[in-house]
């Protein structure tokens, strides 16, 4: 079956299935495997310690696939921000054709990418942000529901409402993020008005994901209840896997007087990298979504994508027609 949508045709990919940018995970091994399987793999720019390292990673990915792949650039407010403009320059100079942007006020980056003929997919968590991104000139939207790993925003709107609400306001192609991991989710996303799906946590539980097997097994063993929402009181909500460390963060921030500095030692990004690479699940935060409840194995990316597509085909061709009299 060929699942064609405006999104897949825009990016020149076989299936409208995207591996979203993930810190410490979006490396060449995973991105190339997803792209080779017919989806869109994405490298995470800021996983690389410098723009030159990103150049090398893009080149490494090209040795592993001749299919389209993208690069994620997430812009976050920070006291000591990384050199975003230099990472952007590296992406442009390396001839990358697809970029996933996310985060705070990406306008200058979007304008520069577009000026160089790059297709921009902007990831956002609210309908108003999707509308703004469309006005800004992005080519596609990735709308991220409350079920997602990472930062789901502060509105707490799940995909069942957020996706069609965004589809009512956005005219460019849109894919759905947050809570997707099988063919049922893909068909549901299409029915709700999206033209594909973006998966993060599900691709972490694959053979090619460059993280420790203990972390992959954690995602298999956890269910849909095994996440914690951290930073709620700080208006910077993040969804992570439920571990002793993330539960400690939640407990500390229950104190109405608590500030970020009280949990800073527990949430360091470098510690998250240690957890992913050593398999010590309590060494740092493990970012994971509620889709954990639908993760039951650790397939290759090719096996996963083919399964999702075949499940979707069966639902569309067999189950749904039987519901219509």
Domain ranges in the chain? 6-208+300-323, 213-290
pLDDT at 322: 86
Q: How confident is the model over 168-225, as pLDDT tens digits?
A: 999 999 999 999 999 999 999 999 999 999 999 999 999 999 999 999 999 999 999 9
How much is the average pLDDT of 43-53?
Answer: 98
pLDDT at 183: 98
Cα torsion 94, 95, 97, 103: sign: positive
Whether 317 has a pLDDT exceeding 80, the answer reads: yes
pLDDT at 76: 87
Whether 325 has a pLDDT exceeding 80, the answer reads: no
Cα distance between residue 70 and residue 179, in whole Å: 21
Question: Please, is 289 exposed, middle or buried when counting C-beta atoms within 10 Å of its C-beta (0-12, 13-18, 19+)?
Answer: buried
Question: Contact 243/288 with Cβ under 8 angstroms?
Answer: no
- Specify the CATH superfamily of domain 6-208+300-323: Aldolase class I (3.20.20.70)
pTM over 0.85: yes
pLDDT at 1: 59
- The pLDDT-based confidence of 35 (bands split at 50, 70, 90) is very high
Residue-wise DSSP of 113-177:
HHHTT-EEEEEESSHHHHHHHHHHT-SEEEEE-TTSSB---SS---HHHHHHHHHTT--S-EEEE
Q: How confident is the model over 62-107, as pLDDT tens digits?
A: 999 999 999 999 998 777 899 999 999 999 999 999 999 999 889 9
Cα distance between residue 105 and residue 124, in whole Å: 11
Q: How confident is the model over 103-162, as pLDDT tens digits?
A: 988 999 999 999 999 999 999 999 999 999 999 999 999 999 999 999 999 999 999 999
pLDDT at 80: 87
Question: Contact 237/231 with Cβ under 8 angstroms?
Answer: yes
Q: How confident is the model over 236-281, as pLDDT tens digits?
A: 999 999 999 999 999 999 999 999 999 999 999 999 999 999 999 9
How much is the average pLDDT of 275-295?
Answer: 97
**Mean of pLDDT over the chain:** 96
Q: Name the pairing type of β-strands 41-44 and 17-19.
A: unpaired
How much is the average pLDDT of 310-323?
Answer: 93
């Amino acid at each position: 079956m060929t699942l064609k949508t405006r999104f897949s045709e825009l990016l020149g990919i076989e299936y409208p299935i995207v591996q979203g940018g993930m810190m410490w995970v979006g490396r060449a091994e995973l991105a190339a495997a997803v792209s080779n399987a017919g989806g869109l793999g994405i490298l995470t720019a800021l996983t690389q310690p410098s723009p030159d390292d990103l150049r090398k990673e893009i080149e490494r990915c090209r040795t592993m696939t001749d299919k389209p792949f993208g690069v994620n650039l997430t812009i976050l407010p920070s006291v000591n921000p990384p050199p975003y403009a230099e990472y952007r320059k590296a992406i442009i100079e390396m001839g990358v054709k697809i970029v996933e942007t996310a985060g705070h006020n990406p306008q200058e980056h979007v304008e520069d990418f577009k000026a160089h003929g790059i297709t921009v997919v902007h990831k956002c968590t609210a309908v108003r942000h999707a509308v703004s991104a469309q006005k800004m000139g992005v080519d596609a939207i990735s709308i991220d529901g409350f079920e997602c790993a990472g930062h789901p925003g502060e509105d707490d709107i799940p995909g069942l409402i957020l996706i069609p609400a965004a589809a009512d306001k956005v005219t460019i192609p849109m894919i759905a993020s947050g809570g997707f991991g099988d063919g049922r989710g893909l068909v549901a996303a299409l029915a709700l008005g999206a033209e594909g799906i973006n998966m993060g946590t599900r691709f972490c539980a694959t053979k090619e994901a460059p993280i420790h097997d203990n972390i992959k097994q954690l995602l298999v063993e956890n269910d849909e209840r095994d996440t914690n929402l951290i930073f709620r009181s700080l208006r910077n909500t993040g969804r992570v896997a439920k571990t002793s460390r993330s539960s400690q963060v939640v407990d500390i921030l229950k104190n109405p007087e608590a500030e970020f500095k009280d949990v800073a030692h527990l949430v360091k990004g470098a510690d998250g990298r240690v957890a992913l690479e050593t398999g010590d699940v309590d060494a740092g935060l493990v970012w994971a979504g509620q889709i954990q409840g639908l993760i039951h194995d650790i397939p290759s990316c090719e096996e996963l994508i083919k399964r999702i597509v075949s499940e979707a085909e069966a639902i569309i061709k067999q189950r749904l027609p039987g519901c219509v009299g």
